[in-house]
C-alpha cells in the first residue's frame, strides 16, 4: 500500500513539482537565470518503479549510493535510454570497475587511487566519466573529502587521467539550523571554485544542497542540488 501511494499521481509527481517550485523560487531570489540549477533526484533505497514514476514526470538525473542496488535498477530501467546515472556514495576500491562502466557521473571523488582506477576501468566506447571532487569544507573528521588546500592538486591529478572529466566540486556539510549558518560552507565551496576555475577548466558544476538546505545552496551558487526525501518520500530502510 505504501509503495502504491508513493508512486501515485499525488506522490512522486506532486513532490517533484514541489521541489522544482522550491528551486525556482530560490533561483529567482538569488537573481540567477531560471535554468541555472539542475535537480539530481536521489533514488537510493527506492525501487525501480519509483524512478520510473519520476522519469514519467520529467526527471532525468538520478543519484545512487549502493553499487549492487544501482546495477539492478539500471538493468530494470534499460528501456529509459535518456536517464543519467550519478554515483553519490562512498567509493570502494572493489566497486570502481562497476561504477566506471555503469554511471555517467561520480560525485564524492577524493582519493587519487580511486581516480586512477575509475579512469583505467572506464570502457573505451564511453565518454570520459564526469567527476566532482568532494571537498571537506568544514573539517569534519567523520566526513570524506579533500581539504581545501589540497583541492588544486587533486584536480591536477584527475586531469592527467584520460578516462575522467573534472566538472566541478561537491560538498556535504554538517547540518545547520538556520539559513545563514547553512550558507557558510556553501559560500566557502563557491569561493574555492572561483579561485581554481580557469577558462579551459571552468568547474561549472557546484554539487551542493539537499532537501533541507537547497535554498541556502542555491543562494550561494549551487548548480546541482541532490534531493531524495523531498522527491521520493521517506527511505524504505528495510530495503536491501
DSSP string, 178-237: SHHHHHHHHHHHHHHHHHH-BTTB---EEE---TTTHHHHHHTT-SEEEESHHHH-S--T
Q: Is the pLDDT of residue 211 over 60?
A: yes
Are β-strands 38-42 and 224-227 bridged in parallel, bridged antiparallel, or unpaired?
parallel
Give residue 239's pLDDT band: very low, low, confident or very high (50, 70, 90): very low
Q: Are residues 102 and 71 in contact, defined by beta-carbon separation less than 8 angstroms?
A: yes
Q: How far is CA 218 from CA 144, 183, 209, in A?
A: 23, 9, 8
Q: Is the pLDDT of residue 4 over 60?
A: no
Q: Is the pLDDT of residue 9 over 50?
A: no
The pLDDT of residue 182 is 97
Alpha-helical (H) ranges within the chain are 2-6, 12-29, 48-56, 67-76, 96-102, 112-121, 151-159, 179-196, 214-219, 229-232
Give residue 8's pLDDT band: very low, low, confident or very high (50, 70, 90): very low
pTM: 0.93
Q: Is the pLDDT of residue 66 over 80?
A: yes
Give residue 3's pLDDT band: very low, low, confident or very high (50, 70, 90): very low
The pLDDT of residue 35 is 94
Distance CA 216, CA 214 (A): 5
Q: Is the pLDDT of residue 1 over 90?
A: no
Give residue 6's pLDDT band: very low, low, confident or very high (50, 70, 90): very low
Q: Is the pLDDT of residue 240 over 80?
A: no
The pLDDT of residue 88 is 97
Q: C-alpha cell of 208? A: 551542493
The pLDDT of residue 237 is 58
Tens digit of pLDDT for each residue in 111-148? Answer: 999 999 999 999 999 999 999 999 999 888 778 899 99
Q: Taking residues 76-93, report their average pLDDT.
A: 97
Query: Average model confidence (pLDDT) for the chain?
Result: 93
Tens digit of pLDDT for each residue in 143-195? Answer: 889 999 999 999 999 999 999 999 999 999 999 989 999 999 999 999 999 99
**Distance between alpha carbon 21 and the CA centroid of its chain, in Å?**
19
Amino acid at each position: 500500500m505504501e509503495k502504491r501511494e508513493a508512486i501515485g499521481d499525488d506522490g512522486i509527481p506532486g513532490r517533484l513539482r514541489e521541489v522544482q517550485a522550491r528551486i525556482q523560487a530560490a533561483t529567482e531570489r538569488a537573481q540567477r537565470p531560471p535554468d541555472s540549477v539542475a535537480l539530481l533526484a536521489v533514488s537510493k533505497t527506492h525501487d525501480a518503479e519509483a524512478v520510473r514514476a519520476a522519469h514519467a514526470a520529467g526527471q532525468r538525473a538520478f543519484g545512487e549510493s549502493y553499487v549492487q542496488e544501482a546495477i539492478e535498477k539500471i538493468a530494470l530501467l534499460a528501456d529509459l535510454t535518456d536517464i543519467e546515472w550519478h554515483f553519490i556514495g562512498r567509493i570502494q576500491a572493489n566497486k570502481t570497475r562497476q561504477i566506471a562502466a555503469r554511471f555517467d557521473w561520480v560525485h564524492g571523488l577524493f582519493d587519487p587511487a580511486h581516480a586512477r582506477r575509475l579512469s583505467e576501468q572506464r570502457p573505451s566506447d564511453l565518454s570520459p566519466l564526469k567527476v566532482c571532487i568532494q571537498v571537506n569544507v568544514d573539517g569534519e573528521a567523520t566526513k570524506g573529502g579533500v581539504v581545501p588546500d589540497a583541492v588544486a592538486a587533486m584536480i591536477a591529478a584527475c586531469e592527467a587521467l584520460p578516462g575522467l572529466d573534472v566538472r566541478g566540486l561537491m560538498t556535504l556539510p554538517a547540518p545547520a539550523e538556520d539559513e545563514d549558518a547553512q550558507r557558510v560552507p556553501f559560500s566557502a565551496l563557491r569561493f574555492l571554485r572561483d579561485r581554481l576555475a580557469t577558462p579551459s577548466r571552468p568547474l561549472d558544476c557546484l554539487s551542493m544542497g539537499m532537501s533541507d538546505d537547497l535554498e541556502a545552496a542555491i543562494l550561494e551558487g549551487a548548480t546541482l542540488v541532490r534531493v531524495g526525501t523531498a522527491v521520493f518520500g521517506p527511505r524504505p530502510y528495510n530495503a536491501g
